[in-house]
Amino acid sequence: MLSLLGILIGYRFSGAKGIRYVAAVAMIVLFFALIRSAWNFFAVLDKNAIDSLQNYLFPLIGFAAYFVLKILLAILGRNLEFAETFCHELNHTFFALLSFRKIESFSAHAEEGGSVTFYGRHNPMISLAPYTFPLFAFFVSLLSLILIPEARKVAQGLVGFFVAFHGMSVFHEARPYQTDLQIYGYFFSYAAILFFNLLWIPFVILLCEEGFSAALMWPHSAILQVQSWITFIENSSLFGG
């Protein structure tokens, strides 16, 4: 039955649009798998939950510090628009370089916005990078792995700060008028935004707190959850199990 469903989907949604449609559905499934994994994590927390949260004290402090800064800047009549624009265009640039594109120009302005031009074609990774990848938080997490314990606490706080920065940037920028989201369609783009943010944000926090092994367990937990769903479906009466 599952094989027949796969054949029908492949027949109905052939071509590039069909591939994006199937990829979007897969990302939505993985998004809910990560939610289920997070639910399982919190469900097993016992009376020592406060002690468990203290392990993430410095990222939480950094997270709160971002909003304190936002309030202070608002009082002073200032904002972080330039920082958000700069980070947005830097994400495009970073993933364009990863895609072996040659950068032609880079600009970022608080009021006029920003742009990056490069030689070669766009791809989803480049177009959606600012909305799906916490660039600053990721690199600070990597840096924290080689720091002494005292300096690592500062880095952990910065990770929390940049996670909040990324989250608010996505909230402000991931709107239908954005051409980045129109290139590959809203369904695919918003599915990617939901999935990759839920993938990368816990990943970078776990990376700076507990290292690569713990961070890699996060995506692995989603795979295990999907496998358990597939097993349940295959064994259900709906598919003749």
The more confidently predicted of residues 77 and 9 is 77
Q: Where are the domains of the chain?
A: 46-223
| Radius of gyration, CA atoms only, the chain | 20
Tens digit of each residue's pLDDT (9 = 90 or more) over 151-206? 899 999 999 999 999 999 999 999 999 999 999 999 999 999 999 999 999 999 99
Distance CA 241, CA 87 (A): 51
Euclidean distance between CA atoms 137 and 197, whole angstroms: 12
How many residues are recorded in the chain? 241
Q: Is 23 strand, coil or helix?
A: helix
Q: What is the pLDDT of residues 16-71, one digit of tens each?
A: 788 899 999 999 999 999 998 888 776 555 545 556 666 788 999 999 999 999 99
174: alpha, beta or left, given left = phi > 0 and alpha = psi -120 to 50?
beta
Got the DSSP string for 196-221? HHHHHHHHHHHHHHH-HHHHHHHHHH
